[in-house]
Each structure stands twice: as C-alpha cells, then as structure tokens.
Chains A and B, each alone.
Chain A
C-alpha cells in the first residue's frame, strides 16, 4: 500500500508538461554534446553500423530510418494505424493496472517504438533505438512492442539518456517482446541518465518453441533510482533465455534490478547473470527462476563488489521448482576486491590504482553473448570512462 502511495508521489512529481520537438532529417545536425550523451548509451548517430534507427526526444519521434528490407521500425502510434492486428500484442504481456507506472503509461502515453523482423529475416547489423530526455523535470512514458517473427533474428541496441543539463525526470517504459518459433532476439539496453532521474521499465517477454531471448542491461552512471524486473516466459519447447546485467551504483544511485525466467516449455533453459559494483550507492540484485515442468535447467549468478564509498549490495536469488527432475541453481557472492590479486598485479609493476582498475574492469567484463565486437569495445570504453570518474 505504502509502495503505491510512493509511486503516486513519483508520478505526480513529474506529471503534466508535454514537450514536442521537430523532426531531424539528418542526424549529423545533432549537437556534439547530445551526440556524446547518446554515444555513451550505445547510440551511434552516424548510423553506419546500424540497420535501423529510432530516436525519440521527450514526447516526439524526431528520427526514424530503416535501411534493411524485412525490418519494420516505427513509433507505436503509427504502427497501430498501419497494422490492424497489432492490438492483439498491446497490453497482453504487461497489464495496465500492474502499478502506478503502467497505469501512467496507459493513460498518458508518449509514443515508444515498434520493432519487427519479418519471418526468416536476420538483422545484418543492430537496430538502434534511443529514448532521449531533453527537458528537465518531465515524464516520458513510452510503450514499446518488439516482434521477432518465426525464424527471424533481431539484434537491438536501445540507449536511454538525458541531454546535458537535464538533472531530473521520470522515464516509464513498458516493453512487450514476442519471440516466435525459432526466432532470436538479442536486446542490449544501456542506460546513461543523470542524478535526479527516476526510471521504471516494465518489461515482459514471451518466447516460443526454439526461440532465444538474450537480454543485456548496462548501467554505469549515476541515476536517482531504477527499478525493473523483466519477466521472460519460456512457453515453447527448447526456448532459451539469458539475462545479463552490469550494474554500477555511484553515491546517490539506487538500483533495484532483477530478472525473472519462467520455464514452462519442455527442455527450456535459462541463465541470469549479474555483476554489481557499488561506489557508494545501493544495489538490490534480484533474480527469480521458476521451473514448472520436469527436465528444465536454469542458473542464477550474482557477484557483487563493494568498493570505497559506503554503499551496499543486497543479492536476492530465488529458485522455485514446481516439478520433479529439474535443475535450478544459484550462486551469489558479495565482497571486496581480493588483496592478493592487487598485490599480484603490483608485483608486475602496476600501481595500486591501476591494479584495482584492471580488476574492476575484469569483474564487469562478463562475456556477454550476442554482442557485436564493436559494442563490446564500446561497453569496455564506457566502463573505463565511468571508472575514471567514479571509482
């Protein structure tokens, strides 16, 4: 009850103002400062290595371009006008009355993206979608639908960021994913907010037979609070999911990040991996695996590092087995950097700071499946950059 009152307070804090922006034909004309903010969220404004680009600024679609046939990218409003059948996909996996935020997204919608791969189509390079908060103290309530039709392969990078000087705001993102038979979706979300931004994504994913859903979530920079708990339902036989998060909480950041995998199809597999570092902020790292039928396998792993700054990490793994003959496991460890590793690297000539930096980078560097090399490098650069600033 008190939760919903607090949620209402957050919604009211940023409610009201509507902010529209005009369309940008040429992304090159975006200011260098904005480009840099977007780059830190994985968005490449040159669009060279991207098969499609969707850019939403506050409440307006400001750029949308698709270069590969068989991919559809548009704002959700246009998509609903284009595809009569799309109503069957909206508010099916997430319910509007789930909480104050989904209610807000339903009642005061501000677009959101629709991304679809037609049957058998494989995105040659990632589709990128950027949700940009350009005005201070407003709320951006988006609703996204992602559909990978049978046998398709869809690679998406979504970057959320604030413009320079935007100190606060609310981002609500409802996302519904449909991964159909034999399709693969690899979805990488990078958040690059600022100190006063409240973020409430609400995502749910349905994976059919032989489908694969890979979700990578990365947040390295300060934010007021993020709370999310994407829920993946492996309904088809042999469906697979992998949910990875890389979380850094500087002082003032409150991250409550989880992931749920429900294994109800035969022979389904799930893996939830989190790497969390606090340099003063609070991280709740949750994970829940529900095995509903015999023979399924899933693993949950959370490793947390508490660096200087007095932060805390709370790891909450949950395993729920509801059938015989299934294999669910978890491992969680929270602590500090092993001094012997620091000493070892110092014996090779690295200073203590250099050694700590290398170890932290290694700790965050989980081999994330489904990331193209250039994005790996990008993430590596982001980690190094945030390290310099906050560690």
Chain B
C-alpha cells in the first residue's frame, strides 16, 4: 500500500528526515514511536504532501504509483487521509458543511456524526474553540466522511480523557477495518471493490494499542527509522529504558 524509499526531507532549511525506508502493506497497521522532534509528524506530513516539507531525495509510492510530486488533494483523492494533531480552525465554515463537501451525502451527515457523538458540533465553525478531545472527534468524523484506504493518525489519543478514548479507539479501529464492495457506507459516490485498509499511527503513550490491532512498530530517531518490531515490545522497551536504546541500535 505504502512504500517509502530513502526519503530525505527538509523544512525551512533544516533536514528532518534522512534515509527513511518504510513499507506498510495492504491491510496492515503500523505504529510510529519516537521522542519529540524525531521526525514522526514530518513523515506523515510528507506522505500527505505538504509543500513546506521539501523532498530532497527518495520516493514515496502509494499502491505502486509514485506520488512524491503530487499535490495534497490528489493524494487525498487517491485514498490517503490524515488525522491532524493540531489542525487549523476555519472561520465561517460549518463542520456539517465540510463533512458534506468531503463527500458525505447531505442527509447522512448527522447519522455519521452521531456515531462519534459529535452531532451537536455540526453547526459550529470547523475547530473554532474546540477542546483537545473535540478536535480529535472532528478529525475522525472528517475521515469517516472521506473513507481513505491509507489512514495517517498523528497522536489521535493526546489530550483525550479516558472516557472518550474508548470511543476514539473504537472509531479508529472501525475506520481501519476492511470494507466490502461499495466501500463507503455513507458516501456511496464511488463504487469500490473489496479493499483492505492500512494505517500509520503516531503514538506517545501507546494507549491506542488497546483498541487497534497493530501489526508492526517503528521507532523514529533523529529523522531515521531505528528499528522495526512488535509494537507492544517497543512500547515496553521505551517505557523501561527510554529511547536511549534506539540510539544504540542506530549506531550499531
């Protein structure tokens, strides 16, 4: 599904990723760990195609197609979607209107919003004055309308209270599940063949692992992927020894 080769990325003159190789096969969900500033968000933003993340070297392939030079919206159209950690707010644009613009049928908007208990926010301006947890739900609702095949989550559980994390975890798990023909439950604009979803999730706490079947974990350290292992093992290791071991791994 996603294949990244020797990626080197610079933002505002500073190299943030250097020599990243990554494979997320169809139907698999991978988890990204790493200390603050290690390059996790940069990797997701580069996959999504944000221009300020300048690719100096390397390639990104999505379902075999080289998307390294594609603009953001074309990647979205191909089936890549992202839940942002700190999305901007859009004054005057109602969340419900955005959900419809993304592709959800107008009369289904309220129904999908109620699944994530967010129907009371449809009449609010997108992300304006939303709390941390509300932003996460707003992001997930947008992905529910978008129904991408590759889902990128940037710390979906940060700033979320324990009660809401159950709902958010279940929703993410649901988004990552395989859909049968027709694909979009609510947004049947495009008929789709049976297709497996893939995910790439950034987490600090690992809470999300209680809800999502993650197949593999990676640690990013100083803009490079330091290791690949069972995500729970990585989490245990980091909890016990911090990221020092990763540095050792990288320099070996």
Q: Would you call B91 and A349 a contact (CB within 8 A)?
A: no
B203 adjacent to chain A (CB < 8 Å): no
Q: Which of B82, B92, B93 contacts A347 (CB 8 A)?
A: B82
* A350 in complex: contacting residue of B51, B81, B101, CB < 8 Å: B101
Q: How far is the CB of B204 from chain A (nearest CB, A)?
A: 22
Asked whether, in the complex, the Cβ of A364 is within 8 Å of the Cβ of B72, the reply is no
**Chain A residue with the shortest CB-CB distance to B152:** A347
| Cβ-closest chain B residue relative to A358 | B93
Interface contact A363-B92, CB-CB below 8 Å: yes
Whether B153 sits at the interface, judged by CB under 8 Å, is: no
**B181 / chain A contacts, CB cutoff of 8 Å:** none
User: Interface code B56-83, partner A: CB below 8 Å = 1, 0 otherwise?
Assistant: 0000000000000001110011000110
Binary flags per residue of A152-182, CB closer than 8 Å to B gives 1, else 0? 0000000000000000000000000000000
- The answer to whether A362 touches B93, judged by C-beta atoms less than 8 angstroms apart, is yes
B112 at the A interface (CB under 8 A): no
Q: Which of the listed residues B50, B72, B101 has the most CB atoms from chain A within 10 Å of its own CB?
A: B72
Q: Which residues of the other chain, A, contact B103 by a CB distance below 8 angstroms? A: 349
Q: A-B pairs with CB below 8 Å: how many?
A: 64
Is residue A32 contacting chain B, with contact meaning CB distance below 8 A? no
Which of A132-140, A292-300, A306-314, A336-344 touches B?
A: A336-344
Q: Check if B92 sits within 8 Å of A361, measured CB to CB.
A: yes
Output the least CB separation between A371 and chain B (Å).
15
Q: Is the CB of A347 within 8 A of B90?
A: no
Q: Is the pair B50, A365 in contact by a Cβ cutoff of 8 Å?
A: no
CB distance from A381 to the nearest CB of B (A): 14
Residue numbers in B under 8 Å from A118 (CB-CB): none
User: Which secondary structure dominates where chain A touches chain B?
Assistant: helix
- A362 near B92 with CB under 8 A, answer yes
Structural contact, B76 and A347, CB atoms closer than 8 A: yes
Chain B binding surface, main DSSP class: mixed
The one of A345, A352, A366 that contacts B90, using a Cβ cutoff of 8 Å: A345
A346 to B103, CA, bound (A): 13
Q: What residues of chain A lie closer than 8 Å to B49, measured between beta carbons?
A: 347
Contact between chains at A362 and B90 (CB < 8 Å):
yes
B125 within 8 A of A: yes
For residue A92, CB closer than 8 A to chain B, the reply is no
Q: Looking across the interface, which residue of chain B has its beta carbon closest to that of A275?
A: B92
Distance of A359 Cα from B97 Cα, bound (Å): 12
Expressed in whole angstroms, the minimum distance between the Cβ of B4 and any Cβ of chain A is 18
The proximity string for A residues 31-44 relative to B, scoring 1 for CB distances below 8 Å and 0 otherwise, is 00000000000000
In the complex, A352→B51 CA distance in Å?
13
Q: Does A351 interact with chain B (Cβ within 8 Å)? A: yes
Q: Which residues of B contact A349 (CB under 8 A)?
A: 73, 76-77, 102-103, 146
A338-B88, A344-B88 known; A351 vs B73 contact (CB < 8 Å)? yes
CB neighbours (8 Å) of B93 from chain A are: 358-359, 361-362
Decide yes or no whether B48 CB sits under 8 A from chain A.
yes
Task: Report whether A344 and B87 are in contact in the complex, using a CB–CB cutoff of 8 Å.
Answer: yes
Kindly list chain A residues whose C-beta atoms are within 8 Å of the C-beta of B76.
346-349
Indicate if the CB atoms of A365 and B73 lie closer than 8 Å: no
The CA of A345 and the CA of B98, in the complex, are separated in Å by: 9
Q: Find the residue from A340, A344, A348, A354 having the highest chain B CB count within 10 A.
A: A348
B77 neighbours in A (Cβ, 8 Å): 349
Q: 24 pairs across A/B with beta carbons < 8 Å?
A: A338-B88, A341-B88, A341-B90, A343-B51, A344-B88, A344-B90, A345-B98, A346-B73, A347-B49, A347-B73, A347-B76, A347-B81, A348-B98, A348-B102, A348-B142, A348-B146, A349-B73, A350-B101, A351-B73, A354-B101, A358-B90, A358-B101, A359-B90, A361-B92
Q: Closest 3 interchain pairs by CB?
A: A362-B92, A362-B93, A349-B76
Binding site for B on A (CB under 8 A): 338, 340-341, 343-352, 354-355, 358-359, 361-366
